[in-house]
Every structure is written in structure tokens, then in C-alpha cells.
Amino acid sequence: MSALRIGIAGLGTVGGGLVRLLSEQREALALRGGRELKVVAVSARDRHRQRGIDLNGATWHDDPVALARGNDVDVVVELIGGSDGVARQVVETAIAAGKPVVTANKALLAHHGTALAVAAEKSGVALGYEGAVAGGIPIIKALREGLVGNRITRLYGILNGTCNYILSTMRESGRDFGDVLAEAQAHGYAEADPSFDIDGVDAAHKLAILTSVAFGCPVNFAGVHVEGIRHITAIDIAYAAELGYRIKLLGLARQTEHGIEQRVHPCMVPMEAPIAHVEGVFNAVVAEGDFVGKTLFQGRGAGAGPTASAVAADLVDIARGVRLPVFSVPAARLAKLPAAPMERHTGAYYVRLMVLDRPGVIAGVAAALRDEQVSMESMLQRGRSHDPGAAVPVVLTTHETEEAAMARAVARIARLDTIVEKPCVIRVEQL
């Protein structure tokens, strides 16, 4: 059988890693794919940059869209990134030309995944994206194939290694967010502009994709409730440990009576939960099925090697002629499920207050909770300050309550004249 001719658009960290993997694993991939996997065309912004990879025999294209429509390419790998612009043009052009596509572009799929799935299935070509979610963890393949006999009841995970590294380091070192973020940037674990990571957007892109695969519904990035980790302090991490929790930024999805609930935010995770012990730059995803029960997938969530490994898995499927519905079921059959309003979410909460150490403070807090019918489970209050103008922390946890009621209670508490800064609220997840 003739070689699978691969065109790669984008030769950054992942693109270079893919070229190296395809070269070093050439014989094994040919056996596993039933044919040789050969890079015949490439495109990147700077053809003169030294990348440390062998591109001999590959045609260089200054225009990646021209690569996508070229007759010398059987499959297009898009590794440019970005939700629109040239990355989107490359993918749409390849699909229109009847070529299968492999991409690691989570932003593109989060914003346009449903339309691309429709186009790919109409053209009769595969759209692979294992590398777009959780790096080297084969979670897309697990959901589309290994767990296909199950109805997924809940899915959650650590989907951003930068945030997990920061929170892990804060817990281990006792240092605060800003200091650890600067260290993560110095080590290359965080971008110069880390907003997409630390504000939860990157994790939300991945969660929107996973939700579609798990629940057979259109990708709905707009339906994801997103919060980041900027407000988490060393104080909160220390209190979490005292209460038997660790703080993790999680993406969570489940089907409720109100629709599909998608949330990305910091969570208090019970210490006994396996995901609480996933540290550093590692990712983890838990999928719960009605027959299989709870399954945990863990590994490196980013980087040249893990992501290239995931892209290679999609290329082997294409070499063998494997073509599955993009999001588990045919695009025309994706269930148009409503997004569950965040205010209808129910759960327990951790609240840290910085209060002036005066008589009657706790009474005011308790009254605000009582008036919104929020039941307090526990309270931690340290010794009194010798400075009457100094603020001291008060931590409380609640029993399960509705998000809207909790939000109203916290807003009332924040208006008390003894509260000196915005309350820190973290949802408690029973996993």
C-alpha cells in the first residue's frame, strides 16, 4: 500500500515534535498503520529558522492554505493554533478538498467544532483531534471507543497543567499566587501572558470539547461557566488542608434536569479522591459511566512529546481507514440540549472572610446566611488580633445549597462594614 502523505501546517513546539516522532518511530508506525506515514509538505512562518528537525524531501509552502489544497498531500495536520484566521482556513480548505484533518487546536474546536464536524462528515473525511485535549492522555479515543457501551453520567478533570503546577507549588511551598506564577513563567510552565491558563479559558475550551464527545451534544463553549485561580491565596490552601481538601482547578460536566452543566473553577477536592493527588504539570480526567463506573486517565497534558503522540495516534487511524463520527454520534444527530443555568447548580461551599475583629461580626454573617436559607456546616476562627484595626480570617463551610442563594448571601456579607475585602468563595466537590 502506498505511503500516507502528510502535510503539516505549523512547525512550532508540537509540529517539530511530530516530525521527530514520525522519523524515530517510522518502522513501528508503518506496522501499526499498515502503511508508511511520510511527511511530504510543511508550512510555517519562517522557513529559515533552525528547528533541529530533518525536513529533507518535504515541499515547503509559504501559504499553509495552499498546502491544504495541494494534490501531493493525503492528510493535513493543523498545528498553527487560534480559533479563527489561517488555522480555520486550513482546516476548512482541507475538508472541502476531501482530505482528512488532524488538529491539536482546542480553541478552533471549542468555537467551531460542530460546524467542522458537519463539514467533515458531509465530505466523508475524518477529523481527528486527540491532541487538542489533555495532551498525551488518550481521552477522546477512550470516550469515542473504549467507553462507547456506557452512558456517561459525569465527567471532570484537571485540564490545565499551568494552573495545576501553580496550585501544587503553592501548597508545597506556602508561597502566594503571584510569586509562584513568576516562577512558572521563568521555568516555561506559564506563558508571558498567562491569562488563557490562569483565568480558566484554556480548560474551558477543552471541557466544551469533552462535553460534546461524552454527551453527544453540539460543542457549546458559551455555555461553560468559567472562573480562574487568581483569587486563591496561600491562606486558602492551608485552610483547605486543615479541612481535609486540596484546591484544584477542575472542569466538570454532567447532565442535569436543567440541561448540560459545564463548569470550570477552583474546587475543594476531598483528600481521599485520586484526582487530589495529581500534581505539577500533569492532567487527569475522570469519566463515570453507568456500566463501567469511575475511570481515571492521567498523564502529561501538554508539550512536544505528549501532544505529538496524540496526533500520531490519529494519523495511524487515518492510515488504516478508520473514520468515526467526530463527536461520538453523527453530527446531524447531536442532541440540542440546553445549557444548565449556573444559578441552579447545587453544592457545598467554602467561604473565607477577612473581618475586623469586633464583637458581633459572626452574628452579622450568620444572619445573612440565615436570611438566604443557607445552612452553615462549620466555622474556623483564629485567636483575636491585638490591633483593633487589623483584619483576621474567618472560614466557614456550608451544607448543600443552590448557587443563587449562596451568591445572594455572599453579596449581603460583603456589604457588612466589618468585612474588609471581597469574600473568597470556593465550591466543594464530592468526588
Q: Which residues are catalytic?
A: 206
Q: Evaluate whether 147 touches 287 at the Cβ level (below 8 Å).
A: yes
Q: DSSP 3-state assignment of 411?
A: helix
374: exposed, middle or buried (Cβ count in 10 Å: 0-12, 13-18, 19+): buried
Q: What are phi and psi of 49, to 5 degrees?
A: -65, 140
C-alpha cell of residue 278: 495529581
C-alpha cell of residue 288: 463515570
CB atoms under 10 Å from CB of 279, counted, come to: 17
Partner residues linked to 251 by β-bridges? 157, 264
CB atoms under 10 Å from CB of 376, counted, come to: 15
> Rounded distance, CA 266 to CA 347, Å?
14
> Rounded distance, CA 101 to CA 126, Å?
6
The DSSP line for 352-370 is EEEEE--TTHHHHHHHHHH
Q: Evaluate whether 106 touches 206 at the Cβ level (below 8 Å).
A: yes
> Rounded distance, CA 225 to CA 200, Å?
10
For residue 383, give the DSSP letter: P
Q: First vs last Cα of the chain: how many Å apart? A: 49
For cell 492522555, name the residue: 137
Pinpoint the alpha helices (H) of 124-265. Answer: 139-141, 161-173, 177-186, 195-198, 201-215, 234-243
For residue 229, give the DSSP letter: S
Buried b (16+ CB within 10 A) or exposed e, 240-264: beebebbbbbbbbbbbeeebbbbbb
- Output the CA–CA distances (angstroms, integers) from residue 24 to 6, 76, 82, 314, 401, in the order listed: 16, 20, 29, 17, 55
Q: Evaluate whether 99 touches 127 at the Cβ level (below 8 Å).
A: no
CA 228 to chain centre: 12
